[in-house]
Structure 1
Amino acid sequence: MPGEEQQNPVLLKLPTFWTTQPQVWFEQAEAQFHIRQITADDTRYYYVVSALDQNTAGRIIDYLREPPHENKYEGIKTLLNTTFGLTRRERAAKLLHMDGLGDRKPSELMNEILALMEGHKPCLLFEQIFLEQMPEDIRLLLAQDTFTDPRGLAARADELGQTKQQEGAYISRITALPRQEKQTVTRTATPSTANRDKWCYYHQRWGSDARRCRPPCMHPGNASAGRL
């Protein structure tokens, strides 16, 4: 009802416009419009204008002085995204020249890649870009996986990375032990780890979590154990 929308504006205050992430800002603004059932073009337009800081408003002052009679909101949304967002070529360049995983989780990297894709469906190049950012051992374990669920795949990469860190920490602790204590740990090792040197690369690296096996491998319970 008209009266209902006239009352809603006083209940909403949008955050100051994010010049570094204009598309994310509009997603949040439109969620607020939806919650409060604000649909009028002029109302949404003036909410956006009220959220601009001095420098941002100055960049688009020509539009603010003479906005169109219709579709004001879509017009300012397109203008701000074009002015402050990445161009299509810039997004492509960022995808092609990513500088590795760094200290991020694979799932965090996947979020960044999907944001740069802007709704495009994953393709062969998308898969390779993600895999090339992974450490080599994790990349080998993911190489045969499907990318039909990109975030699910990234979650699996998170788990593999966590397992790798835990095993590395365990090995470091054992290495740092005095010789006598180290021998005690070796003697009390469980049967499942006593013949670790006879396991294949994948089981040595990931233990029972390994998804692949390269015979001969003596990992306990492995169907192909001992086979050449």
Structure 2
Amino acid sequence: MSAAVAPFPPFHEGNIKNWFLQMEAIFTVRRITDQKTKFGHVVAVLPPAIVDEVSDFLEAVPEVEPYARLKEAILRRMGRTEESLIRELFSNLTCDGRTPSQLLRYMKSRLGKNTMADSILKSLWLDRLPTTITQILASMSENTSIDQLADAADRIFSQLDNQTMPVHSAEATRDHSSLEKTVEDLQRQVKDLTLALKSQGRSRFPSRRRFRSRPRSSSRNKDATPTMCYYHRRFGSAAHHCTKPCSYTAVAGKQNCQRVKATNPAGKAFSPKLSRLFYVTDTRNNLRFLVDTGAEREKEIEIYSMIKREKKRLKYTA
């Protein structure tokens, strides 16, 4: 058949992209380069359903590159996504006696020149493996490459194949416990392998953290030491002042921190009702000190010593 009469293939809705490749190959053989001529040949073989989808292009044919724009519109409106096409390509694919790695290689061969993300291919491949194998592989890291998963799946498949009996065999029930034990052993081995890989990664990049001993709390010492005021902590038994709370008496035992006492002019215990004068008597030296309560100066307390007056009185008395 001569190139001049090479027929155009019927529209292939299942794979529109490949159909256009066939059309363009025939255009090359027939040496058709004009965009409007290509446009006309494509429209001539389109089925009615596709014509309805691109009727806007037929009513107003683009002036610039009509064939290229029609092709783009058909692929966009009627074409399927790459993932859907590939899933359809593998829809009826099963292991069918293949090992997991053989199945993976077969799937890659069916892809041909098409590209696919490893994550999508891994998902499609795992969907077609026996459930027992996928359950064991699930314990491995998500970052494990698909080729490493295939090697591990082959080892699991080999051990399971040695343990598995025909489905209708009378010995299947008897060997069920043995098969479960094998699966548990495989899961444990995969888990140990994963932990070993993680530990190797940590040994290469050791953590910079260092354990530091916690400083010993001094709360026990603080609780064990009675609370004393500033004056008794500073001066001990020589302190002339005491602020509450103060446990100096409890700590000192028999010592009494009250060296001074308040009296009125008559020497009796101080009472605001008897006198407005406030004396402080040193019980050790028997000296009295007058304290100016200062009603107008509440913030100041001035102590006037009567030592000189007492000395003069004692001198004249002598």
- Place the TM-score, normalised by the shorter chain, in its bin: 0.3 to 0.5
Larger radius of gyration: 2
TM-score, with structure 1 as normaliser: 0.45
Structure 2 length-normalised TM: 0.35
